[in-house]
Amino acid sequence: MSFAPVIDALGIPPSALVEQRVPKKLLLEHGASTAADKRQIQDGIEEIVWVAALKPTNIGVPAFEDAVRQYLEIAVLVVELRAAAKPTRLIELIHRAIPYPLVLATRQSGSVSLSLAHKRWSQGETGKVVIEEVRQVSVAPVTPSAEERAFLASLAVSRLPSGNLFVLYDGLLARLAALEASRITGTFAQPNTAEDASALREGLDRHTRLQRDLDMLRARTAKEKQINRRVELNLEIQRLEIKLKEVIPNL
């Protein structure tokens, strides 16, 4: 399985391409604050390639800066993970280490994931950038589902919102959220506005919390020996199932 279908879907202009290997030393210095994280980077990453730098000069989209964040360029990286790597933590560490908003494609044992995370100035340390929530989706670029094909077709830089680099990056995040939602609803439908995208992400987060609570309750019910308590737990499960169904139409 290759990164190419995902990277090609972005339609990156040739003038934005970098195609340069990134030493793990960079992540060790800027992304790892503990010995455990340093080991994860050292042992879990096979190769890092900086594919492109999307800037105002090569994609015609203005930079963005306010009191909260500064988006001068968007970096596109691909990372090959080793089979024993812990991808969730490593993906977070990579986003943390790169000072620019990052489009990150990772591959591990034949599976490809795409992740993004907004960044903002730290409130506690002047000049330091911190990441917000990392949103990640898996993609099968060689044999994509209908929803994944629609998702890949929506990623071209030329088709993204172009008000500024923050708006463009937020448009990419909205498409990741739309793919997540499609795995619940069966239909890929990207949000039309920033407000719709924000509502979609909130709905997905609520769906995730409810599903997690349901899974925990079902596990507890399966172990419960007392009949009365099992009845109570089943009633709670039914209540959460109703709430879960109420979320789905808003995704």
What count of other Cβ atoms lies within 10 Å of the Cβ of residue 156? 13
The helix/strand/coil state of 159 is helix
The model's pTM is 0.88
Report residue 20 as tokens: 């340069």
One digit per residue, pLDDT tens: the chain, 251 residues? 478 888 999 999 999 999 999 998 888 888 778 898 899 999 999 999 999 999 999 999 999 999 999 999 999 999 999 999 999 999 999 999 998 999 999 999 888 999 999 999 988 777 788 999 899 999 987 788 999 999 999 999 999 999 999 999 999 999 999 999 999 999 999 888 888 888 898 899 899 899 999 999 999 898 888 888 888 888 999 999 888 888 888 87
Give phi and psi for 53, each to the nearest 5: -125, 110
Residue with tokens 């730098």: 53
Give the whole-angstrom CA distance, residue 172 versus residue 170.
Answer: 5
Tell me the DSSP string of 76-135: EEEEEEPTT--HHHHHHHHHHH-SS-EEEEEEETTEEEEEE--EEE-SSSTT-EEE---E
